Structure 1
Amino acid sequence: MNMTQARISINGPTDLLTTVPLLLGFTPQHSLVIVGLVDRRLQCTFRVDLPGSADHLEHLRDLTGQLSLNECDECVIIAYGEKEVAEASIERAASRLFNAGVTPLDRLRVDRGRWFSLTCDKPCCPAEGTPIPETTPASCEVAVAGCYAASDRAEIAEQLAPAPPGRRAAVERAVAAALAAEADLDWATQRSQDLHAIDHWLSTNTLPGPEDTAAIGLALGDLDIRDYALRRIGSGALDANRIDLWLWVARHMADDLRAPAATVAGFAAYRFGNGVLALEAFEAALKASPNYRLAQLLMAALQAGYPPASLTNIGTAELEAAASEE
């Protein structure tokens, strides 16, 4: 199961607030989070930074387009941070969403482990706030689906950090040896070896050594092989989309060979429902290769708020060919 397949039962603010860090992939701070709903079911979750102060609300990013794209009719607005800027941001977002036809069902502020309601003044929502527990039945459901919350964004970015120099050097040597060996292979034999490498490592729960890491990284440089890997991910049959494998390969490849593996890692995270990790992976791919087209396309889709289920056509070379003709 992954987050695009999970059906999560949310019963009140406490359930929701223990679940949001898992949905985002990290514990938000100084953030505005909007949870989109369709027929009272959780549909999507988006986060943006709060402005520096309540006097700079013009810098608060508008998320109405993303919720409309996901066909949300209702939402819950949550701000994490100091009272003045958090509450002002909530009201600005609520006005935008209401005008766009998305009804805010609740408005919550979180600060120092407690939550405060902006819409309820009954004893169930005391003025001093309510402690947020570590877990609830809803957060356990999300954890079972394979999600976890990093302490912050930096911890997520660290998953794309280059591997230790010694391991990267070993892979670079293996890359050089593989390229030399490929010179003696015909196209069909090379293609067969590349497909076998992808299939073999998708059928295991382990991570490859230097030679196999090099083989996978080089294979993903072939658009047909890369797209085959994307289709395998899109099938939903892989445990956690083997995000660990793609991240491992991306971290070990030299800068000029990193973009394909990082893009595949981002796609796997995107399809799994981890938009923050996907964003980090696409940024890593574009840092290595600024013109890598698939990373550009997926980055744009993610930032626009396209749901993971909309990526069914990814994995075909025709998609990039059509985009390049625009």
Structure 2
Amino acid sequence: MTTFGASDFDLNRPAAMIAALPAVLGFVPEKSLVLLTVEDGGLGCVMRVDLSAALPETLAHLAEVATASDPDAAIAVVVDEDGASCRMCLDEHQALAADLKDQLDECGIELLATYVVDRLQAGGRWRRADTYAGAGTIEDPMSSPMAAAAVLDGRRLYARRAELEEVIATFDPIRAEALRAEMMRAEHDGDLRPDADARGDVEHALTMARGLSDGQTPSDADVARLGCGFTDPRVRDTLYALAVGTEASRAEALWAMLARTLPDPWRNEALVLLAFSAYARGDGPLAGVSLEAVLRKDGSHRMAVMLDQALQSGMRPDQIRELAQTGYRLAKRLGLRLPPRQGIDRRAG
């Protein structure tokens, strides 16, 4: 789920509304059902699921998730290049729209319209699936006000979801396995270490983030030390504070590098730090794929589960940012001075 509060999203103009979806999701959806909630006359949350044989069983859960933010109504968009011009397929989409309406009705949410679009590109064609009344051409997604806002917020727009997933994919499996052996030798019980060791690991993370920003490549020993440091709750929880500090972008670049480098299970902690950082600055798509990668391997990861639930319920980034205060309190207890908090919160995305 993605949340994005912006006045540029025109729910009454299908051509513009549909064109804005890539900027909201962070990638161009294909073979997808996208559900947008309407709150106070504007865009609320946006959810996407694959068009698949299992979709009818997913609709009830989708409707249930949509109720989390207590929306006024919803709009559905089906992205289907193969079936957009096929009359039989359109009949199937109309049946899908009817099923979705029934599920949303049970949750007290009105489905205002269901649109089918062949492709989310300039010149893509849309039409109403629920009534067959209304059709047209979408505007250029890359020129939409939402796309401009996303770029100004520092978010990259991906041509495919797979490209977004590549941001966190393991870059060098051979190096990861070599690191595993080194980290298993260096593994420690974080709860039994002195505060000085935890403090040293946080300082080491800051040094690595600054070095990476200056073009330095971390050594295997540096990567292994920080990966092992993640097993110490004092280190891990303190590092969440960096997401709201003046060096947040440096820290996020480090978490992304570690997510592509570390072996499991240490990689999970880098992914959750990356997810928290992305969520805090309003990048719901990157947060979502990072959390999905963690929960596939460890469905009980406490922080990943909590962040995923927050994302699913449409919790705003400014609310998530407040969790970083715990990190500042831990840093004070450890005798650490972290980069100060940023003075201005970024908007949701």
Instruction: Give the TM-score, by structure 1 length.
Output: 0.75
Q: Distance in 1 between matches of 2:250 and 2:69?
A: 23
- Partner residue, 2:240: 230
The structural deviation recorded for 1:50 is 2.7
The structural deviation recorded for 1:198 is 3.4
Report the CA distance shift for 1:300/1:137 in structure 2 as closer, same or farther (over 3 A): closer
Report the CA distance shift for 1:65/1:28 in structure 2 as closer, same or farther (over 3 A): same
- Partner residue, 1:75: 74
- Partner residue, 1:89: 96
Q: Distance in 1 between matches of 2:46 and 2:260?
A: 28
- Partner residue, 1:198: 205
Instruction: Give the TM-score, by structure 2 length.
Output: 0.71
Identity %: 25
Pair 1:216 & 2:226 matched: yes
Q: Distance in 1 between matches of 2:306 and 2:187?
A: 33
Greater mean deviation of Cα atoms: 265-274 or 27-36: 265-274
Q: Distance in 2 between matches of 1:51 and 1:296?
A: 25
Pair 1:115 & 2:115 matched: no
- Partner residue, 2:332: none
Map 1:14-93 → 2, pairs under 5 A = 14-52=15-53, 57-58=56-57, 60-81=59-80, 82=83, 83-93=90-100
- Partner residue, 1:146: 154
Greater mean deviation of Cα atoms: 11-20 or 239-248: 239-248
- Partner residue, 1:295: 304
Q: Distance in 2 between matches of 1:241 and 1:62?
A: 37
Q: Distance in 1 between matches of 2:26 and 2:68?
A: 22
The structural deviation recorded for 1:142 is 2.6
Contact (CA 8 Å) 2:279, 2:320: kept in 1 or not? Answer: no
Pair 1:284 & 2:284 matched: no
Q: Distance in 2 between matches of 1:5 and 1:22?
A: 10
Kindly provide the CA deviation profile for residues 272-297 of structure 1, in whole angstroms up to 9, marking residues without a partner as x: 44444334323433455565333344
Contact (CA 8 Å) 1:14, 1:136: kept in 2 or not? Answer: no
The structural deviation recorded for 1:249 is 0.8
Contact (CA 8 Å) 1:115, 1:130: kept in 2 or not? Answer: yes
Contact (CA 8 Å) 1:115, 1:132: kept in 2 or not? Answer: no
User: How large is the Cα RMSD of the aligned pairs?
Assistant: 3.8
Contact (CA 8 Å) 1:87, 1:109: kept in 2 or not? Answer: no
Contact (CA 8 Å) 2:15, 2:139: kept in 1 or not? Answer: yes
**Structure 1 residues without counterparts, runs of 5 or longer:** 318-326
Task: Supply the AA of the counterpart residue of 1:114.
Answer: R
Kindly provide the CA deviation profile for residues 65-110 of structure 1, in whole angstroms up to 9, marking residues without a partner as x: 2222112112221111222333322232233324423233433211
Q: Distance in 1 between matches of 2:101 and 2:45?
A: 17
The structural deviation recorded for 1:44 is 1.1
Kindly provide the CA deviation profile for residues 243-277 of structure 1, in whole angstroms up to 9, marking residues without a partner as x: 43212112211224222112222223333444443
Q: Distance in 2 between matches of 1:109 and 1:224?
A: 49
The structural deviation recorded for 1:4 is 6.3
Report the CA distance shift for 1:88/1:270 in structure 2 as closer, same or farther (over 3 A): farther
Task: Supply the AA of the counterpart residue of 1:19.
Answer: A
**Structure 2 residues without counterparts, runs of 5 or longer:** 84-89, 328-349
Report the CA distance shift for 1:284/1:101 in structure 2 as closer, same or farther (over 3 A): closer
The structural deviation recorded for 1:157 is 2.2
Contact (CA 8 Å) 2:170, 2:261: kept in 1 or not? Answer: yes
Equivalenced residues, count: 306
Task: Supply the AA of the counterpart residue of 1:110.
Answer: V
Q: Distance in 2 between matches of 1:169 and 1:303?
A: 33
Q: Distance in 1 between matches of 2:22 and 2:7?
A: 14
Contact (CA 8 Å) 1:160, 1:250: kept in 2 or not? Answer: yes
- Partner residue, 1:320: none
1:63 partner SS: helix
Q: Distance in 1 between matches of 2:247 and 2:43?
A: 24
The structural deviation recorded for 1:61 is 4.7
Q: Distance in 1 between matches of 2:245 and 2:116?
A: 36
- Partner residue, 2:276: 267
The structural deviation recorded for 1:120 is 8.2
